[in-house]
Amino acid sequence: MKLYGYWRSSAAYRVRIALNLKQLTAEHISVHLVKNGGEQHSKDFEKLNPQHLVPALVDNNNQGEFCLTQSLAIIEYLEEKYPQQAILPANIEDKAIVRAMAQSIACEIHPLDNLRVLQYLVNEMGVDESKKMDWYHHWIHLGFNALESQLSLHAGQYCFGDQVTLADICLVPQVYNAQRFNVDLQAYPHIMRVWQNCNKLDAFIQAAPEQQDDAC
């Protein structure tokens, strides 16, 4: 497998965690999102992902190589093809709850605070740095307030009981980004406890942005 990603990309971070949890290896190919106007906009990468986003995973099937995009789709693919170290509960109701928590991060919080959105606010809308940070903090707090309530009902050591799941895979990169942008997270004790527990595990430690070869 080949994983095209960027060290600070939350979505690529999720896939790295999932690969590590399942003890799978992939060749990591850096797509720098900032240098040279953003390598994700190159013609070569556009062939892999017309959305100009990371990650992209290239794997093999009976017909040869194929490419998958969107981190949640990639992780669900890995879950189905490599069921060892399951990252979704077996029970259908529990599985739905975990997916809902994961999607609340990946589909509701992350897209509004993603690099291209922040760049558009500054470059096209003329938003200054202070207002950009207000935007970022607003959507983090709105999403984390709801997630904190969900975790109060379902969390054990991790987001859903004492098993690492897809929800944790999504949570840890989002907390990393929130800290990077100086969001005050004191109001979220469940989120921070889960984040701390996850970051004691090798799969999360090795997937951390600063551990990647393209970190700079």
Confidence category of residue 64, pLDDT binned at 50, 70, 90: confident
Cα 148 from Cα 104, distance rounded (Å): 11
Average pLDDT in the chain: 96
Q: What is the pLDDT of residues 93-136, one digit of tens each?
A: 999 999 999 999 999 999 999 999 999 999 999 999 999 999 99
> In the structure encoding, which two tokens stand for residue 202, read together?
């090798």
Which residue carries 């800290």 as its tokens?
179
At 154 the pLDDT is 98
What backbone torsions phi and psi does residue 29 show, to the nearest 5 degrees? -115, 120
Q: What is the radius of gyration, based on Cα positions, of the chain?
A: 17
For 127, counting Cβ atoms within 10 Å of its Cβ (0-12 exposed, 13-18 middle, 19+ buried), the class is: middle
The answer on pLDDT for 62 being more than 80 is: no
At 37 the pLDDT is 87
Residues of the chain with pLDDT > 70, as a percent, come to 100
Cα 6 from Cα 209, distance rounded (Å): 8
Q: What is the mean pLDDT of residues 2-31?
A: 97
At 71 the pLDDT is 97
Query: What's 160's DSSP letter?
Result: B
Q: Beta 64-69 vs 2-5: how paired, if at all?
A: unpaired
Q: What is the pLDDT of residues 130-166, one digit of tens each?
A: 999 999 999 999 999 999 999 999 999 999 999 999 9
Cα 164 from Cα 157, distance rounded (Å): 8
pTM, 2 dp: 0.95
The answer on pLDDT for 20 being more than 90 is: yes
What backbone torsions phi and psi does residue 69 show, to the nearest 5 degrees? -120, 175
Cα 128 from Cα 194, distance rounded (Å): 34
The answer on pLDDT for 190 being more than 90 is: yes
What backbone torsions phi and psi does residue 179 show, to the nearest 5 degrees? -65, -40
Q: What is the mean pLDDT of residues 34-55?
A: 91
CB 191, CB 148: distance < 8 Å:
yes
